Structures are given as structure tokens and as C-alpha cells.
């Protein structure tokens, strides 16, 4: 009998579309959320828009132009540029490249930046380009964790994490190790890394799995990812999503935490945006489900609108939900008025901001590079 390995089939067109959807849909959620971040209201307040209306209006902390994504997607692009080479994101060279990219961004393109990420990157910026800059960054994150009293699980690692779900589509464990390694550059709190592992596994499983067949929308299943979380914290996460604050039954509970700077709340609210969208879709007329492409776009609008509406860190929760939604529904579900408008930093080789096609290319290249 031959001992040769059975060749694995190349990814399908649908899987490529879902890989291309991850960064693109994250960016759309990000750009939809920026005007509402931390109590902001759109600069063009006279337009009469409400958070429930999915328009890219700009404003917020940047302030951003309409359609422009913020720090969440800026940092995700930096990770993606390393991931798209096929590099092992747990290796020192790859982590040094990501760390150098973060520092470059901090010193030039960062239009806004969270307090924790600013503290860590600022502490090691003068080591840019040195061997082991990533180890220095991890130590700075540990120092921040200690001085914060052991509570440093901000959502700043999770907001940039989605593309890591594409790095090793056939290997859940390698994907989880990569998510944990990149999170640890700036966030030493194990809950921050856990949240990244859970989101990355949802995305990996969505892209590796079969195409969406219509009903029901099962694109976000955190419980299925918990085998990759260390045993000592598995019950914490399980109980959170099953009977706890972020149980599906609480999709419209007014008692949800008001803020989502804590990575657990950011992931929880992103998850509940899927449950909310399912509830809304259930009341649609039967004809809604007949055109799958149109249903996918409508579902995506429902998910991202809910993510923006339910959070105070609106761009970040919508970016987290968007990356997962894109991995399930694909780039094809992104409405053209969003895809045409979305853009942002860092710049490309031509010195111009990136656009939808660039994000799709980075997602596809990351997925394919990890399969070879």
C-alpha cells in the first residue's frame, strides 16, 4: 500500500470568498462604528441618522472621513502583511516583524490608539528594528499587567485579531497558538488571549467549513472553540455563553454591561449581535430567504447595525463581529455602497490609503499562504 499522503483539495471559490470577507467586513463594521465610539455622535448630526441606520458617516476619535476605518483595522492590516507571507506567527522573526510594524504605526499612522496599546508600544518604540523587539514588547505588556493590578484585558488585542483565523485553516491548534502569541505582544492578561483564540477559531471553522446554506445563521459559535482554551478557564467561558451574561437568551437584555472596553464584553456583545440578527431575520417574510445573496447582505447589515447599536466601543465591537460575519457570509455579502466607500491606513506601496480590494487580497493571500 502506498504511504504517500492523500493530496488535500484546494480551497473552493466560496472558501476564497469567505477568506476575502474577513478583513473587508471587519473594516466595514469599524467604519460604521467610528462616529458612535465612546459617546460620540456623527459630526453631521443634522442628518437625522441614528445608530440603527447603517451608514458610514465618519467622525469619531480620528476624526475619520466617511468610510474610513480606525485603529482596529489599521493594526489588523499590519498583522495581515506578515501573515500573508505564510510566516509562522509564533516564530520570533514573524513576531518581531509584527512588533516593528506596530511601532511604525504608533509613530506615524495611528489616528487613534487605546491607552494600554499606547503604553506598551511607547515603552519599546526606541527598540524598533532590534532582534527580539517582540520579546521586549511582551515584557512591557507584562509590566503593564502588573501595574494594572493584574487586570489588563482590554479589547485592543481582540479588535485586530480576525485575520489570524485565516493563517492555518486546517490546524485549529496552530491557529490558537498564533492568536495567543500576537495577543501577548501588548496584552498579558490571559483573558485577552483567550478571547482572541475563540474569535480566531470561529473564523477558521467558518472558512474551513461548508458554504452557508441559508437558514439558520450559525456563524458564531464560541462554545465550539473552547477546547482550545486552557482547562482552568474553560468553565468561565462556557458559563458566560451558556447561562451567563452572554447567553443567547440575553440578546436583548437591558442589563448587559454598559461598556465594552473589557475584551470579554466586547466578544460577548459581538456574539449577541448574531443572535439579534437571527431574531430579526426570523420575523422577515418567507420571500426574504429565497434570494440567498440578498439574504446574506441583509443579515450582515443586521449583525453590524446591532453591534454598533449595542456597544459604547462601537467600532471595535462591530469590527470583531464583522470579521466573524465575513468569514461566514463572505465578501459577496458586503453591500456595494460599503465596499466602494471603505478605506483607511496604513498606506499601500503607492502612498495612498488602502481600499476594499486590498483587504480582500490580504485575506486571500493569508489563507492560501497558510495552506502550502
CB of 61 to Mg ion, least distance (A): 7
User: Is the preceding peptide bond at 216 cis, omega within 30 degrees of 0?
Assistant: yes
Contact present, 258 and 314 (Cβ < 8 Å): no
Contact present, 176 and 198 (Cβ < 8 Å): no
Interface with Mg ion (CB under 5 A), residue total 4
CB of 70 to Mg ion, least distance (A): 3
Stretch that binds Mg ion, among 70-78, 181-189, 227-235, 258-266 (CB under 5 A): 70-78
For Mg ion, the binding residue among 15, 70, 161, 195 (CB under 5 A) is: 70
Please give the Cα distance from 30 to 307 (Å, whole number): 10
Q: Which DSSP string corresponds to 297-337? A: HHHHHHHHHHHHHT-SSHHHHHHHHHHHHHHHH-GGGS-HH
Stretch that binds Mg ion, among 84-92, 96-104, 145-153, 313-321 (CB under 5 A): 313-321
| β-bridge partners, 353 | 347
Nearest to 320 by CA among 125, 96, 154, 130: 154
The grid coordinates listed for 73 are: 483595522
Provide the strand spans (E) within 40-182.
none
Please give the Cα distance from 165 to 80 (Å, whole number): 11
Tracing cell 472621513 back to the chain, one arrives at: 65
Please give the Cα distance from 264 to 262 (Å, whole number): 5
Q: Whose Cβ is closer to Mg ion: residue 73's or residue 167's?
A: 73
Q: Whose Cβ is closer to Mg ion: residue 226's or residue 325's?
A: 325
Residue nearest to Mg ion (CB): 70
The count of other CB atoms within 10 Å of the CB of residue 173 is 11
CB of 60 to Mg ion, least distance (A): 8
CB of 32 to Mg ion, least distance (A): 12
The rounded Cα 158 to chain-centroid distance in angstroms is 6
Nearest to 267 by CA among 128, 129, 357, 156: 156
The count of other CB atoms within 10 Å of the CB of residue 94 is 22
For Mg ion, the binding residue among 17, 20, 71, 189 (CB under 5 A) is: 71
Which element (helix H / strand E) includes 343? strand 343-347
Please give the Cα distance from 296 to 279 (Å, whole number): 15
Q: Whose Cβ is closer to Mg ion: residue 17's or residue 72's?
A: 72
CB of 75 to Mg ion, least distance (A): 9
Q: Is 100 in the site for Mg ion (CB under 5 A)?
A: no
CB of 350 to Mg ion, least distance (A): 24
CB of 118 to Mg ion, least distance (A): 13
Stretch that binds Mg ion, among 49-57, 139-147, 231-239, 307-315 (CB under 5 A): 307-315
Contact string 11-50 vs Mg ion (x = CB under 5 A): ----------------------------------------
Q: Whose Cβ is closer to Mg ion: residue 61's or residue 174's?
A: 61
Stretch that binds Mg ion, among 71-79, 87-95, 120-128, 278-286 (CB under 5 A): 71-79
Collapsing DSSP states into helix, strand and coil, what is residue 40? coil
Please give the Cα distance from 81 to 349 (Å, whole number): 12
Q: Whose Cβ is closer to Mg ion: residue 182's or residue 295's?
A: 182
Q: Whose Cβ is closer to Mg ion: residue 71's or residue 358's?
A: 71
Q: Is 68 in the site for Mg ion (CB under 5 A)?
A: no
Q: Whose Cβ is closer to Mg ion: residue 68's or residue 96's?
A: 68
Q: Is 72 in the site for Mg ion (CB under 5 A)?
A: yes
CB of 290 to Mg ion, least distance (A): 37
Q: Whose Cβ is closer to Mg ion: residue 16's or residue 28's?
A: 28
Q: Whose Cβ is closer to Mg ion: residue 60's or residue 268's?
A: 60
Please give the Cα distance from 256 to 264 (Å, whole number): 12
For Mg ion, the binding residue among 299, 315, 317, 322 (CB under 5 A) is: 315
User: Which residues in 47-66 contact Mg ion (CB under 5 A)?
Assistant: none
In the complex, the residues that contact Mg ion under the rule CB under 5 A are 70-72, 315
Amino acid at each position: 500500500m502506498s504511504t504517500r499522503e492523500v493530496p488535500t483539495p484546494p480551497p473552493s471559490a466560496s472558501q476564497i470568498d469567505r477568506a476575502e470577507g474577513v478583513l473587508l467586513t471587519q473594516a466595514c463594521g469599524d467604519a460604521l462604528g467610528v462616529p458612535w465610539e465612546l459617546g460620540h455622535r456623527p459630526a453631521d448630526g443634522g442628518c437625522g441618522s441614528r445608530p440603527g441606520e447603517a451608514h458610514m458617516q465618519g467622525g469619531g476619535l480620528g476624526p475619520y472621513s466617511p468610510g474610513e476605518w480606525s485603529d482596529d483595522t489599521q493594526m489588523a492590516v499590519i498583522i495581515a502583511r506578515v501573515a500573508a507571507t505564510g510566516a509562522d506567527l509564533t516564530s520570533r522573526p514573524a513576531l518581531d516583524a509584527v512588533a516593528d510594524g506596530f511601532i511604525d504605526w504608533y509613530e506615524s499612522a495611528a489616528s487613534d490608539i487605546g491607552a494600554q496599546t499606547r503604553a506598551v508600544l511607547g515603552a519599546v518604540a526606541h527598540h524598533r528594528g532590534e532582534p527580539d523587539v517582540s520579546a521586549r514588547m511582551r515584557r512591557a505588556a507584562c509590566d503593564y499587567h502588573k501595574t494594572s493590578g493584574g487586570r489588563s484585558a482590554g479589547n485592543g488585542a481582540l479588535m485586530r485579531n480576525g485575520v489570524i483565523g485565516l493563517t492555518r485553516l486546517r490546524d485549529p491548534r496552530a491557529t490558537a497558538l498564533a492568536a495567543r502569541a500576537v495577543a501577548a505582544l501588548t496584552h498579558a492578561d490571559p483573558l485577552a488571549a483567550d478571547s482572541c483564540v475563540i474569535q480566531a477559531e470561529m473564523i477558521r471553522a467558518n472558512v474551513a467549513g461548508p458554504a452557508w446554506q441559508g437558514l439558520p445563521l450559525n456563524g458564531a459559535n464560541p462554545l465550539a472553540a473552547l477546547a482550545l482554551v486552557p482547562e482552568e478557564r474553560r468553565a468561565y467561558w462556557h458559563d458566560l455563553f451558556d447561562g451567563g451574561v452572554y447567553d443567547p437568551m440575553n440578546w436583548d437584555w437591558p442589563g448587559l454591561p454598559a461598556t465594552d472596553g473589557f475584551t470579554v464584553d466586547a466578544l460577548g456583545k459581538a456574539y449577541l449581535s448574531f443572535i439579534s440578527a437571527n431574531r430579526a431575520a426570523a420575523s422577515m417574510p418567507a420571500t426574504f430567504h429565497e434570494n440567498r445573496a440578498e439574504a446574506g447582505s441583509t443579515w450582515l447589515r443586521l449583525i453590524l447595525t446591532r453591534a454598533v447599536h449595542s456597544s459604547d466601543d462601537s467600532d471595535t465591537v462591530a469590527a470583531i463581529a464583522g470579521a466573524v460575519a465575513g468569514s461566514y457570509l463572505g465578501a459577496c455579502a458586503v453591500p456595494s455602497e460599503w465596499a466602494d466607500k471603505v478605506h483607511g491606513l496604513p498606506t499601500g506601496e503607492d502612498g495612498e490609503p488602502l481600499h476594499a480590494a486590498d483587504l480582500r487580497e490580504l485575506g486571500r493571500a493569508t489563507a492560501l499562504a497558510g495552506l502550502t
